[in-house]
Structure 1
Amino acid sequence: MLLEFIATIALGLGIAGLVMALNLVLGRRLPRWAMPAAAGLGMILFLVYLEYSWAPRTAEQLPDGMVVTSKSSQSMWYRPWTYISPLSLRMIAVDTRRNRSHPDWPGRVMTTMVLFERWMPTREVPVVFDCDDHRRADLHSGVELGEDGALHGADWYRLEADDRGLQAACESAARGRPASAER
């Protein structure tokens, strides 16, 4: 956040310098408001670019085996341009590099869901996907894994068969290796 702030200020100063130089070349014919207006507009456009490019930049930096399964898009009144093109500020990825399964429960895959949100720390949630029954259980403090691989105290959430998180975890488990980077 601090680096983006510094880059925005530097960009504004650079644009102001360019407009000042252009004004000198033109014999001071530009109106007095041209320099601050150009600097302000440039900074706003740069910030909009940073906001819209956050999700693609973050997804590109993910290692192989992490599959983006969900992006949320929203419009905000204090960002009126988001009504034209909604902004993605949150993503969920499944880290298939951490897939594990129990021999007694081959249809279940234990893995990690990674939650990304702009300006917030990344959070990891251990989960179990049941590939056969199309459901997911989050592994929180009340869930215990028995010796036989059974989950005790888990709350199961029904998923659609085409849920991208379920597909990523189950397909990579079936192949026995992490999923390729599908962004």
Structure 2
Amino acid sequence: MIWELIATIFAGVGGAGIALLIRKLSKQMTPKWLVPAFAGMAMLGFQIQGEYDWYDHQTSLLPDGVVVVKAVEEEAPWRPWSYVFPQTMRFIAADVANSAKNKIDPSLVLVDLYFFERRSLAKRVPQIIDCVNEARTDFTQSFSASTHNSATSSNPVDSSTSWFPLESNDPLITALCS
């Protein structure tokens, strides 16, 4: 983030330099306010470009076998251009290459989900995906396949795991269960 601040300052200096060059070439006929205006536009333009390039840059850094399963585009009133061109500020990636099927119940797949957000550190959350019942839950040390079978049956038993249903066309189901 410090490098982004330094780069923004240099973009402002570059924009001011261009305005100073324009003033010099016009023999000081252009207004003086052009210098700070160019500096501000250069810094704002650099920040906007960085916001839009963030998602493509982050996904290009993902290793093979890590698949983006959800991208969240956002709009904000303080970024009015985002209503025309929404920005991807968050996304979820699944480590499909290192996922593991449960030996007791092969319909259960353990996968690491990575949550990326602009200007935040990535978070890793292990999840268990049920390919048959199309559901997911957080992985805990107390999870067992027998608990899963009784919890997903028509007469559920009180268990410590809570399952969240997924759509049949959910990208997570498609990436792991196909």
TM bracket, shorter-chain basis: 0.7 to 0.9
Counterpart for residue 85 of structure 2: 85
Gaps of 5+ in 1: 172-183
| Contact persistence 1:72–1:88 (CA under 8 A) | yes
d(CA) in 2 for partners of 1:103 and 1:72? Answer: 34
Counterpart for residue 7 of structure 1: 7
Q: Which amino acid aligns with 1:160?
A: E
The yes-or-no answer on 1:167 pairing with 2:174 is yes
Instruction: Decide whether aligned partners of structure 1 residues 74 and 123 sit closer, same or farther in structure 2, where only a CA change above 3 A counts.
Output: same
The yes-or-no answer on 1:144 pairing with 2:148 is no
d(CA) in 2 for partners of 1:7 and 1:149? Answer: 55
List structure 1 segments (4+ residues) > 3 angstroms apart after TM superposition: 148-152
d(CA) in 1 for partners of 2:146 and 2:99? Answer: 14
2:106 is paired with a residue of what secondary structure? strand
Counterpart for residue 34 of structure 1: 34
1:90 is displaced (CA, Å) by: 0.7
| Contact persistence 2:14–2:42 (CA under 8 A) | no
Counterpart for residue 121 of structure 1: 121
2:56 is paired with a residue of what secondary structure? helix
Matched-pair identity in % = 32
d(CA) in 2 for partners of 1:127 and 1:107? Answer: 13
d(CA) in 2 for partners of 1:11 and 1:33? Answer: 17
1:91 is paired with a residue of what secondary structure? strand
d(CA) in 1 for partners of 2:160 and 2:174? Answer: 24
| Contact persistence 2:13–2:39 (CA under 8 A) | yes
Greater strand share, structure number? 1
d(CA) in 2 for partners of 1:88 and 1:73? Answer: 4
1:102 is displaced (CA, Å) by: 2.1
1:47 is displaced (CA, Å) by: 0.5
1:76 is displaced (CA, Å) by: 1.0
The yes-or-no answer on 1:102 pairing with 2:109 is no
Gaps of 5+ in 2: 149-158
| Contact persistence 1:102–1:149 (CA under 8 A) | no
Higher relative contact order (CA 8 A, sep 6+): 1
Deviations 1:4-31 (A, max 9, x none): 1110100110121122122212211211
1:103 is displaced (CA, Å) by: 2.5
1:116 is paired with a residue of what secondary structure? strand
1:150 is displaced (CA, Å) by: 5.1
d(CA) in 2 for partners of 1:47 and 1:29? Answer: 30
Deviations 1:115-167 (A, max 9, x none): 00111111111111111111111124xx5133x67546221111111100121
CA RMSD of aligned residues (A): 1.6
Counterpart for residue 151 of structure 2: none
